[in-house]
Amino acid sequence: MAYVVTRLCRDCVHTACVTVCPVECFYWPKQPDDRLPNQVYISPDECINCGACLPVCPWQAIYDQPDVPSKFHEDISLNQLCDKARKEFDQVKHMKEPDPTPQDVKDNKKKWGL
């Protein structure tokens, strides 16, 4: 099992997860579009399930695969695309960004139905 980045990351792309990942398994689409939304993805083939990314994601967008909320289950297959269509992805580079406020996180969850 691997960790999964859910749509809670969509257009909120924050790269704190990249700084703690010991295997550099984070990717994002070269050309975000409807099929490959603008967010960070975890390679299930490369993820070692260490969980280091989970507590540092300020958007609370990362879940252990068995814990992905049912309304986000399609995000599991989205993350798998970075292995199946690797040439459409680049490895994520860390960018220093301000953390969202607690209200930003709450509003984002509400936007996606959590």
Looking up residue 24, the CATH number of its domain turns out to be 3.30.70.20
Q: Tell me, what's the pLDDT at 12?
A: 84
Quote the pLDDT of residue 93. 87
Residues recorded for the chain: 114
Compute the mean pLDDT over every residue in the chain, rounded to the nearest whole number. 93
Residue 104 maps to a domain: no
Q: pLDDT digits over 100-113, tens only?
A: 999 999 999 999 98
Domain annotation covers residue 85 = yes
pLDDT for residue 98: 85
What local confidence, expressed as pLDDT, does residue 97 receive?
81
Q: Classify residue 108: in a domain, yes or no.
A: no
pLDDT value at residue 4 = 97
Q: Where are the beta strands (DSSP E) in the chain?
A: 3-5, 26-29, 41-42, 62-64, 89-91
Record the pTM.
Answer: 0.90
For 71-102, the DSSP string reads: GGTHHHHHHHHHHHTGGGEEE------PPPPH
Domain limits for position 71:
3-99
Of the pLDDT bands very low, low, confident and very high (cuts 50, 70, 90), residue 94 is confident
